[in-house]
């Protein structure tokens, strides 16, 4: 095993130092936060918070997440707006970082892996999540234990890295391998895929995003009996190519985003009982067939993308029902406020009437006869004048 690690260290490019740290869980504080601070904090940091977004502390990220759930979806980078904006075309106004060069591929890949692992350090499991029922326990697929395999031949690892692949152990002292051609300078092809054969038993995770391999070339994938995660997004895979995956009984994650597959290709995957995440965004798979497969495989989540016509219709229908309910509540509030206003007007009129009555009574008092005590000084003055005349 030590020999394998030494071979990997020498053979893999400078990207190795960043990605090797991600062999286990990606560390938010050590690996992700520095990327945000370097490329994002100028607009979304302590001094500025454009778009009400600040990325310099996990607490502020959690606040953003609470306000907008789709900002960061644990386990689903393709549904997380944080990630989607990083991979938009350079001329797209919504791409981030704004008015700057796109992030390096290795940094984007690290952020993708971090979200895929659950966005640890920002998203935490809710302790009040209800325990599964007995029925759910029976229906849910059992967790697969990690297979125990011998170390891959050093020559097989050398050939893969020489062809531009990143190869790393699943975790320290593990003989299982994560292999990725996603950051290679050229799209992977049939020759690259064929190099997986000698290490077929050890390949646990494989990234062939953007691959130009033919259906014939993809036959090698059928040998990867321990494969758990497979990226084929934006590749040239067809319905026939998916037939090579039918025997991958341990496969749990499959990304087919942006490929030309149809309902016919999806039929090859129906026997993958441990499949948990299937991404079909921007494919030709129909909604009904995708949902039928989701129902057929317990625990499977099929993602057709937020802009799929049926998904949009269902979302708008749901929004319409919610808005109708809000309109009814607003109308009820309006009626209540109208009644309150009428009651307030009547109270105002009653008070005004009482005020007018009191004012009139006071006015009547001011315009009447003077009290006897006010006339007494005048009578005394008259008597004094008469006494003076007699004198």
| Averaged pLDDT, 15-39 | 66
pLDDT at position 13 is 35
| Percentage of the chain modeled with pLDDT above 70 | 80
Instruction: Name the residue with higher pLDDT: 133 or 157.
Output: 157
Contact indicator for 285, 267 with CB cutoff of 8 Å: no
| Averaged pLDDT, 380-391 | 70
pLDDT at position 10 is 34
pLDDT at position 8 is 38
Of the pLDDT bands very low, low, confident and very high (cuts 50, 70, 90), residue 89 is: confident
pLDDT digit string, tens, across residues 333-376: 999 999 999 999 999 999 999 999 999 989 888 875 555 555 55
When mean pLDDT is compared across 170-174, 232-236, 304-308, the lowest value belongs to: 304-308
pLDDT at position 81 is 87
Let me know the angle formed at the C-alpha of 55 by 50 and 56, rounded to the nearest 5 degrees: 120
For the cut 50, the answer to whether the pLDDT of residue 124 exceeds it is no
- Supply 93's token pair: 């106004």
Instruction: Name the residue with higher pLDDT: 25 or 177.
Output: 177
pLDDT at position 187 is 94
Instruction: Name the residue with higher pLDDT: 235 or 121.
Output: 235
For the cut 70, the answer to whether the pLDDT of residue 162 exceeds it is yes
For the cut 50, the answer to whether the pLDDT of residue 228 exceeds it is yes
pLDDT at position 4 is 40
Domain boundaries, the chain: 26-119, 154-300, 308-391
For the cut 60, the answer to whether the pLDDT of residue 12 exceeds it is no
Region for 301 from its dihedrals, namely left if φ exceeds 0, alpha if ψ lies in -120 to 50, beta otherwise: beta
Q: At what angle do helices 287-296 and 309-366 cross, to 10 degrees?
A: 90
Instruction: Name the residue with higher pLDDT: 358 or 389.
Output: 358
Give a three-class secondary structure readout of the chain.
CHHHHHHHHHHCCCCHHHHHHHHCCCCHHHHHHHHHHHHCHHHHCCCCEHHHCCCCCHHHHHHHHHHCHHHCCCCCHHHCHHHHCCCCCCCCCCCCCCCCCCCCHHHHHHHHHHHHCCCCCCCCCCCCCCCCCHHHHHHCCCCCCCCCCCCCCHHHHHHHHHCCCEEEECCCCCCCEEEECCCCCCCCCHHHHHCCHHHCCCEEEEECCCCCCCCCHHHHHHHCCCCCEEECCCCCCCHHHHHHHCCCCCCCEEECCCCCCCHHHHHHHCCCCCCCEEECCCCCCCHHHHHHHHHHCCCCEEECCCCCHHHHHHHHHHHHHHHHHHHHHHHHHHHHHHHHHHHHHHHHHHHHHHHHHHHHHHHHHHCCCCCHHHHHHHHHHHHHHHHHHHC
Question: In this structure, what is the dihedral angle of CA atoms 167, 172, 177, 179, given to the nearest 10 degrees?
Answer: -30
Instruction: Name the residue with higher pLDDT: 357 or 130.
Output: 357
Q: How is domain 154-300 classified at the CATH fold level?
A: 3.80.10
When mean pLDDT is compared across 31-45, 58-72, 126-140, 167-181, the lowest value belongs to: 126-140
pLDDT at position 9 is 37
Instruction: Name the residue with higher pLDDT: 390 or 353.
Output: 353
For the cut 60, the answer to whether the pLDDT of residue 14 exceeds it is no
| Percentage of the chain modeled with pLDDT above 90 | 46
* Averaged confidence pLDDT in the chain: 82
| Averaged pLDDT, 125-130 | 43
Instruction: Name the residue with higher pLDDT: 366 or 159.
Output: 159
């Amino acid at each position: 095993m030590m020999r394998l690690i030494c071979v990997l260290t020498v053979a893999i490019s400078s990207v190795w130092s960043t990605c090797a740290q991600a062999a286990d869980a990606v560390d938010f504080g050590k690996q992700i936060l520095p990327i945000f601070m370097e490329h994002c904090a100028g607009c979304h940091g302590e001094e500025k918070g454009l778009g009400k977004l600040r990325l310099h502390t996990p607490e502020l990220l959690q606040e953003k997440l609470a306000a907008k759930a789709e900002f960061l979806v644990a386990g689903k980078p393709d549904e997380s707006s944080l990630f989607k904006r990083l991979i938009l075309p350079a001329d797209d106004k919504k791409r981030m970082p704004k008015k700057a060069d796109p992030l390096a591929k290795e940094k984007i890949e690290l952020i993708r892996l971090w979200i895929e692992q659950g966005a640890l350090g920002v998203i935490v499991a809710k302790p009040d999540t209800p325990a599964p029922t007995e029925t759910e326990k029976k229906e849910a697929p059992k967790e697969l234990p990690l297979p125990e395999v011998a170390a891959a031949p050093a020559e097989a690892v050398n050939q893969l890295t020489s062809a531009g692949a990143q190869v790393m152990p699943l975790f320290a002292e593990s003989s299982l391998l994560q292999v990725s051609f996603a950051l290679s300078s050229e799209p992977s092809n049939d020759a690259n895929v064929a190099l997986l054969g000698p290490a077929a038993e050890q390949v646990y995770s494989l990234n062939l995003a953007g691959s130009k391999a033919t259906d014939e070339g993809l036959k090698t994938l059928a040998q990867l009996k321990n494969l758990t995660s497979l990226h084929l997004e934006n590749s040239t895979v067809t319905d026939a190519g998916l037939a090579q995956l039918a025997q991958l009984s341990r496969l749990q994650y499959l990304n087919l985003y942006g490929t030309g597959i149809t309902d016919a290709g999806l039929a090859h995957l129906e026997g993958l009982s441990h499949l948990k995440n299937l991404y079909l965004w921007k494919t030709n798979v129909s909604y009904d067939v995708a949902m039928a497969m989701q129902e057929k495989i317990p625990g499977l989540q099929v993602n057709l993308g937020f802009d799929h016509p049926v998904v949009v219709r269902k979302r708008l229908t749901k929004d319409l029902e919610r808005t109708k309910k809000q309109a009814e509540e607003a109308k009820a509030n309006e009626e209540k406020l109208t009644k309150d206003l009428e009651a307030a007007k009547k109270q105002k009129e009653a008070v005004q009437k009482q005020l007018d009555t009191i004012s009139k009574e006071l006015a009547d008092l001011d315009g009447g006869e003077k009290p006897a005590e006010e006339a007494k000084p005048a009578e005394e003055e008259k008597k004094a004048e008469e006494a003076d005349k007699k004198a």
